[in-house]
Amino acid sequence: MKKKIIAYNRVEKPVLDDLKKKYDVRFFKNIDTKNDPEFLEHLSESEGIIGLELPVDAELLDNGPNLKVISNVSVGYNNLDLDEMTKRQIMGTNTPGVLTDTVADTVFGILAATARRIPELDQFVKNGEWQTEAVGSEHYGINIHHKTLGIIGMGRIGKAIAQRGHFGFDMDILYHSRTRKPDAEQTFNAAYRTLDQLLEESDFVCMITPLTPETEGMIGKREFQKMKKSAIFINGSRGKTIVEQDLIEALKNGDITAAGLDVFENEPIEPDNPLLNMKNVVTTPHIGSSTHETELAMSELAAENLEAGLNGKRPPNLVNPAAFEKIE
């Protein structure tokens, strides 16, 4: 009899088709996981879950007594209650590495689009408002090259963003993270700063930390007021790493010049969110890793993690090692 697994929200078709050959797979998308009878029935017998943004808490785990592994198709895993999973010897995994360059490309693209006001001026042209050969100063953007880029979170993606800024745009790189990064300091001439120092000195502030209890709400009113009035804020991490209402007020008050956002406090963003009516805000729908090549690579790695866990092996990207130690 084939082992039962659940696929949730996003698993690329070639990977899903391959899993279906080996396992009894049921795919669910954007359902009420606490009340959907088909989901709960399959969960009660499933040994593994693979997918994106499934909230995993004690209640879900109570309904999945046979679970061995939960494999996220993402680098983030704030949707997993790791303490509860570890108590029950359930392994959690993620997909780091394969999306690093893709996310860094996205973040830097948003930075460039915000600095040069590209979405706003694209609409300006399409609306037929371009009436003279040369636009006036009211449509000017801001230079990127030779400016100071402050990166909050110098992990794999932070380093990839630093690489683009340092080598591509001759930017001075500042960073703030839990630990010093000698390799980044040597390779990109990056300088460590306290958070306040980084905010005060940077022309562009890029948020790329994971969402943890320590980083939730890390950037709020006080931090926005620390930034230069000419600063541009970019968030490519998670929406809840900042206080979104404080960002809105900072933009309204002119505490900072503009913002580029790939993530939001609530996703999808509410249609009445004031950010959507601000010309100095560039918004994208959490597309950091959303290319055909990268999404497929993430699904493949997530499936590798899943199958290792199902077979009692240590997954290559285990985020709660204590769960495997308990199994051993």
Catalytic residues: 238, 267, 286
Can you point out the beta strands (E) in the chain? 4-8, 24-28, 48-51, 69-72, 91-93, 148-152, 172-176, 191-192, 204-207, 232-235, 258-261, 281-283
Residues ≥6 apart with Cβ < 8 Å to 324: 91, 314, 318
DSSP codes of every residue in 175-201: EE-SS--HHHHHHS--EE--HHHHHHH
Q: Which of 103, 132, 69 is nearest to 235 (CA)?
A: 103
Q: Label the pairing between strands 48-51 and 69-72.
A: parallel
Residues 6+ apart with CB under 8 A from 231: 202, 203, 204, 205, 256, 257
Tokens of 220: 């709020």
- Tokens at residue 115, please? 């600095």
Partners of residue 205 on adjacent β-strands: 150, 233
Which of these, 152, 149, 156, 153, lies nearest to 100 by C-alpha position? 156
Q: Give the list of residues 6+ apart from residue 90 with CB closer than 8 angstroms, or none.
A: 61, 67, 68, 69, 70, 323
Tell which residue, 82, 229, 214, has the closest CA to residue 152: 214
The neighbouring-strand residues paired with 152 are: 176, 207
Distance from C-alpha of 209 to C-alpha of 177, rounded to nearest angstrom: 8
Instruction: Give residue 261's identity as a one-letter amino acid code.
Output: L
